[in-house]
Amino acid sequence: MSRTDSVAVAGVGMHPWGAWGKPFIGYGSAAARAALADAGIGWRDVQLVVGGETIRNGYPGFVAGSALSQALGWHGAPVASCYAACATGAQALSTARAHILAGLADVVLVVGADTTPKGFFAPVGGERPDDPDWLRFRLLGATNPAYFGLYARRRMALRGSTEADFAAVKVKNARAGALNPNARFRAEVDAETVLNSPMVSDPLRLLQICATSDGAAAVVLTSEDYARRLNKDAVRIRAVSAPTPTYPRTVPDFPYLASDSMASNSTATAAPATRTFRESLAHAAYEAAGIGPEDVDLAEVYDLTTAMELDWYEEIGLCAPGDAEKLLHEGATALGGRVPVNTSGGLSSFGEAIPAQAIAQVCELTWQLRGDAGARQVERARVGVAVNQGLFGHGSAIVVGRK
């Protein structure tokens, strides 16, 4: 990896996640102040503010970059605001990184924060039949857990996974989350409790689906030279990949009502990709960072459901297709295992605060690579990967490495 391709993570910070019911900008300001203090950088030294948009309680009208700048006190720095559904934070990081690599800024503050209503995510109001997100709710009542249920059932049919396998993921992540002061859910959970929780979307029960939360995360990215002068250059972003799907999509991704046709009787030019969209995310980041999955010491993956965490093991190359349950039950992905996954406790312990999630993943990887993860510390961690996927063909992977 050439030095010119990477930027330094000079500081990270979070506001604890929970159901606080306060304005999102308060959480964002707290996380931003924490990240700046961690970096030893003053607010007025920030040369660009990138905010992850929140669409709660309205439309993308909470222009996060400027709302945050106003909250911290205007000092003239330009802002950028991003929305990419669950990949929002990654897009914000990508924007910050691009500015630094292009030489347009040395110090960029990236913040994501949200206040989230209880219950299912739902599209914003109005009669909007041109929005596929509106259509899936209006016609099918297909919530996010419904799509996750389809994927989980598919995994059970294809791989022979069981509800107990899924529950073991929750047990593992709750154990890690119990050690994380920023997590919302900090109690260990046993498999029996998971398997007795109410069914939401067969085969997924309440404790196998992540909650919705309030929370915030912030990262200060700087050029390597700037970080070196501050002695904050230990951790670097080595790659951010955010490809879109390629045609034809073989799986019905949410919020869409159908996959593309795989029939060979048309004269279409496109052949199915060798990798699924989700597989392509980490692959692109590994390629950009010049590493392979065997180089990964730990991973943060979007466990929107316990079943989905198992899918990710295979999709990011931690094991061969079909071997995720084996990897889990061997303890490889638990704290103390060969390649711990979701050492933060994951979305399972945090819940979704959409614009903050991908940034929070980078916070966790940074603490781990610096050796600052306390009771969750992974020994000798040098390379971490974070992956996520969201609505409308968004998704990303980020490789973070130690110098």
Q: In the complex, which residues of this chain contact another protein (CB under 8 A)?
A: 119-120, 122-123, 125, 127, 129-130, 134-143, 146, 149-154, 156-158, 198-204, 246-248, 251-252, 257-263, 265-270
Distance of closest approach, residue 338 Cβ to another protein, in angstroms: 31
The Cα–Cα gap between 226 and 215 comes to 29
Cα end-to-end distance, the chain, whole Å: 11
SS3 state at 324: helix
The nearer residue to another protein, 47 or 143, going by C-beta atoms, is 143
DSSP 117-163: -SSS----SS--TT-HHHHIIIII---HHHHHHHHHHHHHHHH---H
The nearer residue to another protein, 9 or 354, going by C-beta atoms, is 354
Closest CA to 10 of 153, 78, 109: 109
Paired tokens of 184: 């919302």
CA distances from 159 to 148, 154, 329 (A): 16, 8, 15
Distance of closest approach, residue 94 Cβ to another protein, in angstroms: 22
Strand arrangement of the beta sheet that strand 214-222 belongs to: 79-82, 48-52, 107-114, 214-222, 7-18, 235-241, 395-402, 383-389, 298-301
Distance of closest approach, residue 261 Cβ to another protein, in angstroms: 4
The nearer residue to another protein, 209 or 218, going by C-beta atoms, is 209
The nearer residue to another protein, 117 or 292, going by C-beta atoms, is 117
Distance of closest approach, residue 150 Cβ to another protein, in angstroms: 4
The Cα–Cα gap between 77 and 386 comes to 29
Distance of closest approach, residue 205 Cβ to another protein, in angstroms: 10
SS3 state at 110: strand
The nearer residue to another protein, 149 or 384, going by C-beta atoms, is 149
The nearer residue to another protein, 102 or 157, going by C-beta atoms, is 157
Distance of closest approach, residue 177 Cβ to another protein, in angstroms: 24
The nearer residue to another protein, 56 or 236, going by C-beta atoms, is 56
Distance of closest approach, residue 198 Cβ to another protein, in angstroms: 7
The nearer residue to another protein, 104 or 268, going by C-beta atoms, is 268
SS3 state at 32: helix
Closest CA to 204 of 137, 254, 273, 156: 156
Distance of closest approach, residue 55 Cβ to another protein, in angstroms: 15
